[in-house]
């Protein structure tokens, strides 16, 4: 079992890409390790590496779990962008939303590959089997023969499925660019400047850090906005409603820096967990902010609900 435990992080990232849920990925990894332990005597190192064998078990466990399941979207996957930053914010708790992935910035680059939210959200457009083929071939870089054996199919079917998966992602946008998109070298510094502007309730300072076509999403609210003008107007609204005194902390999520955001709590004079903001940065500007406006998300990061740990 100890030999298998060394692969837990890789398996967790793989199951998350397949499922779009961190909680479900944890459960499937545990199931994978249990299956592997029970079948350890049947493992043949002459046929595949231990890594490939474990990912084969994990992938098939995920395919079983995905049977009959609806995809996990972000708001941008449900309809057109909104045009009113002042519209009432109504959470839709009936939707199983895509979750963030709390990761380790010191983890190996191959483990963090393909964790960007834009890529994981785009995977939700694929059938479960196409998703598996694309991840096994493009992220784990298994051969077509290895994938065919893992999925109980033919090399021709794998190649055909990969073609269809890539075409579907290409039609949906530049999601494949996120697969091995190198981190912006100034990403951490930019997010820290955003943190300082946010804590100062400095909306002009925030908007200077945004691309003109920046996207803001706020699951479980199905609204999403495009453009730094809409973004700025929305932030003016936030500070008008909640006031100053926000406190933020840099965390790591989906292959890059993110912010855990604590809102002022007039009842206690302190702060309360509000949201986790996950960013996409390119060319020195924020291109995308997915704000998971659900305090329950803080549990994924091991963060408390009412203080800002330093």
Q: Are residues 211 and 285 in the same domain?
A: yes
Last residue of a domain, one of 120, 154, 178: 178
Q: Is 283 left (phi over 0), alpha (psi -120 to 50) or beta?
A: left
Specify the CATH number for the domain of residue 61: 1.20.140
Contact 260, 251 (CB under 8 A): yes
Last residue of a domain, one of 150, 178, 206: 178
Query: What sign does the dihedral 226-211-112-166 (CA atoms) show?
Result: positive
More confident residue, 177 or 208: 208
Q: Are residues 32 and 156 in the same domain?
A: yes
Q: Does a structural domain hold residue 97?
A: no
pLDDT of 2 higher than 80: no
Q: Are residues 36 and 162 in the same domain?
A: yes
Q: Are residues 192 and 288 in the same domain?
A: yes
Q: Are residues 31 and 121 in the same domain?
A: yes
Q: Are residues 150 and 247 in the same domain?
A: no
Q: Does a structural domain hold residue 197?
A: yes
Q: Does a structural domain hold residue 156?
A: yes
Q: Are residues 54 and 121 in the same domain?
A: yes
Q: Are residues 214 and 292 in the same domain?
A: yes
Residue 267 belongs to what domain range? 187-301
pLDDT of 183 higher than 80: no
Q: Does a structural domain hold residue 95?
A: no
Which residues, including other chains, have CB under 8 Å from residue 141's CB and lie 6 or more apart?
A: none
Q: Are residues 134 and 259 in the same domain?
A: no
pLDDT at 62: 98
Q: Are residues 162 and 197 in the same domain?
A: no
Alpha helices in 116-202 (DSSP H): 117-123, 128-134, 144-151, 155-172, 187-199
Q: Does a structural domain hold residue 155?
A: yes
Q: Does a structural domain hold residue 143?
A: yes
| Confidence bin at 173 (pLDDT 50/70/90) | confident
CA angle 50, 52, 58 (to 5 degrees): 100
Q: Which residue has 């008008």 as its token pair? A: 240
CA distance 139 to 123: 12
pLDDT at 3: 79
Q: Per-residue pLDDT averaged across 172-188, rounded? A: 72
Q: Are residues 294 and 214 in the same domain?
A: yes
pLDDT of 170 higher than 90: no
Burial category of 93 from C-beta neighbours within 10 Å (exposed 0-12, middle 13-18, buried 19 and up): exposed
The tens digit of pLDDT for each residue in 238-273 reads: 999 999 999 999 999 998 889 999 999 988 889 999
Compute the mean pLDDT over every residue in the chain, rounded to the nearest whole number: 91
Q: Are residues 159 and 63 in the same domain?
A: yes
Q: Is 291 left (phi over 0), alpha (psi -120 to 50) or beta?
A: beta
Which residues, including other chains, have CB under 8 Å from residue 104's CB and lie 6 or more apart?
A: 9, 252
Contact 246, 263 (CB under 8 A): yes
CA distance 86 to 161: 43
Q: Does a structural domain hold residue 219?
A: yes
Q: Does a structural domain hold residue 220?
A: yes
Specify the CATH number for the domain of residue 228: 3.10.450.50
| Confidence bin at 110 (pLDDT 50/70/90) | low
In the chain, the number of structural domains is 2
């Amino acid at each position: 079992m100890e030999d298998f435990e060394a692969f837990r992080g890789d398996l967790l990232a793989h199951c998350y890409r397949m499922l779009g849920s961190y909680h479900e990925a944890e459960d499937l990894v545990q199931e994978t390790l249990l299956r592997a332990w029970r079948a350890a005597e049947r493992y043949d190192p002459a046929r595949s590496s231990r890594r490939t064998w474990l990912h084969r078990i994990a992938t098939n466990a995920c395919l079983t779990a995905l049977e009959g399941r609806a995809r996990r979207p972000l708001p941008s996957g449900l309809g057109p962008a909104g045009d009113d930053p002042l519209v009432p914010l109504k959470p839709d708790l009936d939707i199983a939303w895509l979750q963030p992935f709390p990761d380790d910035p010191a983890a190996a680059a191959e483990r963090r590959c393909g964790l960007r939210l834009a890529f994981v959200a785009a995977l939700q457009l694929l059938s479960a089997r196409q998703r598996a083929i694309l991840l096994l071939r493009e992220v784990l870089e298994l051969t077509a023969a290895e994938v065919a054996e893992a999925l109980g199919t033919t090399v021709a079917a794998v190649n055909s499925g990969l073609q269809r998966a890539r075409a579907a992602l290409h039609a949906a946008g530049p999601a494949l660019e996120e697969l091995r998109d190198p981190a912006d070298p100034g990403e951490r510094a930019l997010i820290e400047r955003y943190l300082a502007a946010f804590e100062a309730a400095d909306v002009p300072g925030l908007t200077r850090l945004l691309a003109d076509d920046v996207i803001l999403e706020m699951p479980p609210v199905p609204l999403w906005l495009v453009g730094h003008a809409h973004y700025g107007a929305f932030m003016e609204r936030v500070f008008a409603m909640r006031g100053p005194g926000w406190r933020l902390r840099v965390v790591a999520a989906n292959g890059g820096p993110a912010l855990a955001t604590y809102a002022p709590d007039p009842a206690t004079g302190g702060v309360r967990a509000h949201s986790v903001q996950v960013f996409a940065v390119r060319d020195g500007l924020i291109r995308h902010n997915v704000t998971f406006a659900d305090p329950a998300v803080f549990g994924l990061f091991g963060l408390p609900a009412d203080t800002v740990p330093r």
